[in-house]
Every structure is written in C-alpha cells, then in structure tokens.
Amino acid sequence: MALRHLLRRVRVIRPDLNRAQVARSMSQSLTQAPETQLPSPPPPDRMIYDQLAEAVKSKLKRLENPDSRFLQYASPYPITTDHTPILSLPETKITTLPNGLRVATESNLASHTATVAVHIDAGSRFETDETNGVAHFLEHMIFKGTEKRPVKVLEEEIENLGGHLNAYTSREQTAYYAKVVGDDVPKALDILADILQNSVFDEKRIEIERDVILREMEEVGQSDDEVIFDHLHATAYQYTPLGRTILGPVENIQAITKEHIRDYISTHYAAHRMVISAAGAVKHEEVVEQVKKLFTKLSAHPTVTSQLVAENPTIFTGSEVRMINDDLPLAQFAVAFNGASWTDPDAIALMVIQSMLGSWNKNAGGGKHMGSELGQKVSINEVAESYMAFNTNYKDTGLFGVYAVAKPDCLDDLAYAIMYEISKLCYQVSEADVIRARNQLKTALLLDGTSPTAEDIGRQLITYGRRIPYAELFARIDAVDASTIKRVANRFIFDRDIAISARGPIQGLPDYNWFRRRTYWLRY
C-alpha cells in the first residue's frame, strides 16, 4: 500500500517517467543511504573482539599518518638533512716546508683566541720493552725548563700571557698545545719551539718527575675505566707494542735516564713526522713565516712510521683477563672485537654502529625513549649503572665494543643484552635507526672551539695525510645504510674472536665461551 502511494507521488511530480524508470530510481534511492543515517548494527556472527581489533587498526592508521601540524617543528621520524651550510666553513690551508714539517691553519677572524699545537706521529707504540714509558716521561720533562727559560720563567711567562699550555701522550700520537689570545700567537709558537728543541732535562728534575709519575700511576690504578682499557689492550694485543701501557712499568720509570729521553727525541721527533696546527685568530702566511724562523733544530732522522708499524705488526688475540675483587661495590667489564684502522673503508660504518649502540648513564635519567635499543633494554630493566660503546682506531687495527658497569647480580642479564644487540646487527637493521645514528654521529663530529679544531687538524694530517672537509665526511656518513651496517657487522662481528677485560665482583659474569658463542645466531 505504501509503495503504491509512493509511486503515485512520483507520477504526479514526474508525469513523463514510465513504470520501469520509476522502479530504477527507487532502487537507487534505497541503496544510497543519507549521511545522517545511523550505522547498521554489526552482524550477529561478528564478535566483540573483531570490533576491538577494528578500533585498534584505525588508531594505528592515525598514528602512521599523523596531523602535519603537530610535526611542523619537532618530528619523531628521523630524516636526512641538507648540509649546504657546512660548505661555508673556513678552509684548512696546508704548507709543507723543505724539511718535511707541515703547517696547517684554519682561520676564524671572528674569534678572539687561538690554539697552536704541535703533533708528533709518535707514542708508546714505538717504544721498546726496555724504554716503555719514555714518551710519557718526556711529556712531563718538556715543561721543566730550557736553556733560556728556566722552569720558573717558563711558568710565569705562560701565566702572564693568560694562556694555557698542556700536552698529552697516546699510544700513537703526542701533542703539545697552547691556547692564547690571538695577538699572542707568535709568543706561543716561540715557547713551543723552545721547549721542543732546547729543553735541558736537568738530572734533579728527572728524579723529581719519577715520583710524580709513580703517583700518577697510583691514581690511574684507581680509575676503573683506565684499568679496564689498559688490560683490554694488554690481552687483545698481547706480545705486540699496542699491548703496552702508556705510563710503562714501574721498573722502567725508575730506570729512565736523560740519554733515553734524548735518544727518543732524536729518533721520533723528526720534522717529517710533525704537524704544527693553528686555529682561531690566526693568518696562515704569518704562522708559516714564524715556523720557518723558530723550528730550525728539529731532527732529520729518516725513520717513518709505516716502517716501524711494518716491523712490529699488531695481531689481535681472542682472550680475556679477569681481576676478581670483592671489595669493589660494582663490576666493570669490556667486550671488544678487532676493529678497523683509520684508513679502512669501513671505519665510518663502524662509527655509525657505535652511535647505534649508544651510551647510557643511570645518573642522567631517561633511557626508555632512547633511539638505541640496547639503551632501552638496559634502562627499562635496570641491569646496569652505565654503559658505553667505544670504537678506537689505530694505524693498522682497532678496538670496537661495549664497556659497562653493573651490580654483581645483574651481570648475566646485562651480558645477554649487550651480545644480543651487537649480534643482531648482522641480521636485522632498521633504516630509521641508521638515519638517527648518522645524525647523531654528524652532530658529535661538529667541533666548537679553537682547541678541538687544532687537535682535529693535527690528528687528521697524521692519520689521513690531509684534512677531510665536513662536506666529504658527511657524504661518507650518509652513504651508510642498513645493508652497509649488516655487511660491516658480518665482517667484524659475526663469529669473530673477542677480547674481554673484567674487574671487581665478577663471579656472575659468563665465561669466555658463553660470550664467543653469542657472536652469531644460527641461520635456518
């Protein structure tokens, strides 16, 4: 009855329509519900769990496509960035003098200070068993007076300049640097040239410095990370020069003489193995002219570093050293793989892997929202006090791994988390994690200040023979993707020997075979 009445109304409104057209228009109007129509109830066979699943899917879809207004300034998704502004950084100018001495500067006329440094391609690695420790001993003695500047005059001159004079010795390099006001750069160069060429090495001062170095050795022995890494090198590079400590053994410190120091200078402090770097308020031409006048007494010993490395090659040995000491409140250990040298093509990829593993400290807070999955696991489960991924490069090898500090009852869980995340790099790598790690690495490599810049210039000229521009360095970092990480991880991590150094209450730390077994997963 209702249908007949509706057809009559349609016929009145549109008398030109026949019955077939009216039926067709009616079927279309019944199938197309208006927007205000209430949704039909779910079919009886649809369970409540299906409805919840649909709701969750809709929420996930909204998360995958968030409103762009909320991501305008702080996006949680890592993206690649434009490095065009980096190209405008100051140029590093390099001049090689006839005696082989290299002078490199990076001018920043907007700066009011400058750092001048002398880098020597020599360290504890190039000593012998009998002279181990002489490089560090020389670092102490170099500031104890020259022929025209007694120690008191030297110290007063530095203080009057308001400058900072210091040095450091590593396994492969030694550096002396001075930070002063820009107008005092000539005086700083004069002081560095004087102490490097005219130090007197007074016998009484040598005896005084013996006691100073022995006290320094006691302080180093109380530093947890210093002890761990010294023993890590000793076990990983046993019976090779890199396995020796920088300070040297006690018997060597007590036996070093003035002749040992002078012989080391004449052999290793040669002009062709030295780089003078300057950064800040400096002008390249002026620095070069001053260096020509001041550095005239440098050794011309023909020995080159590559020859010394070839004569004493470094061999990585899978091994461990454990120092049980229940008096210590916390346990420390380091797990290391044989890494890459400075010039290895995969050195940059290992730096990215180091950033992916990251570092975390309990006192710093946070952790569960870190980009590093290892950091998330360690912080959420509270299995460590701190951890740090490290990547140390040398001329022909390197050390790559993780150093951690934890309570004695957490060692097994912490060791499992570390080895799981390291080995997982051979199998599963997220592109987002790689991009995030690349961005973090680039930020860490950007230098701020004259002293870090001068140090970086000298180090790169010694290791690479040139200063790598930021544009090239960042391009190399951006070339690392997920497939590169997996390839490099399979080269350095998959089923490779490891070196372990542990100290403290470490009875709960798994044995060497447990660690070695977890350098790979079974592939099916």
Q: Give the residue numbers marked as catalytic.
A: 139, 209
Mark 36-63 as b/e (b = at least 16 C-beta within 10 Å): eeeeeeeeeeeeeeeeeeeeeeeeeeee
Q: In sequence order, which residues have a C-beta less than 8 Å from that of residue 469 and are 6 or more positions away?
A: 89, 92
Burial of 520 (0-12, 13-18, 19+ CB in 10 A): middle
Q: How far is CA 289 from CA 103, 186, 225, 396, 435, in A?
A: 10, 10, 43, 35, 45
Two tokens, residue 152: 């008191």
Asked if 304 contacts 273 with a C-beta cutoff of 8 angstroms, the reply is yes
520 vs 310: CA distance, rounded Å: 32
Two tokens, residue 417: 């988390």
Asked if 246 contacts 136 with a C-beta cutoff of 8 angstroms, the reply is yes
Two tokens, residue 294: 């001041």
**Strand 386-393 relative to strand 398-406, pairing:** antiparallel
334 vs 329: CA distance, rounded Å: 17
> In 3-state terms, what secondary structure has residue 305?
helix
DSSP assignment of 368-435: TT-S-HHHHHHHHHT--SEEEEEEEE-SS-EEEEEEEEE-GGGHHHHHHHHHHHHHHTTT---HHHHH
Residue that the structure tokens 């018997």 belong to: 251
H/E segment holding residue 92? strand 92-96
> In 3-state terms, what secondary structure has residue 312?
coil
Burial of 174 (0-12, 13-18, 19+ CB in 10 A): buried
Q: Which of 322, 347, 343 is nearest to 507 (CA)?
A: 322
H/E segment holding residue 289? helix 284-294
Answer left, alpha or beta for residue 384, where phi above 0 means left and psi between -120 and 50 means alpha: beta
Q: For the chain, how long is the longest CA-to-CA vector?
A: 126
> What angle, rounded to 10 degrees, do the helices at 347-357 and 431-445 form?
100
> In 3-state terms, what secondary structure has residue 443?
helix
**Strand 92-96 relative to strand 102-107, pairing:** antiparallel
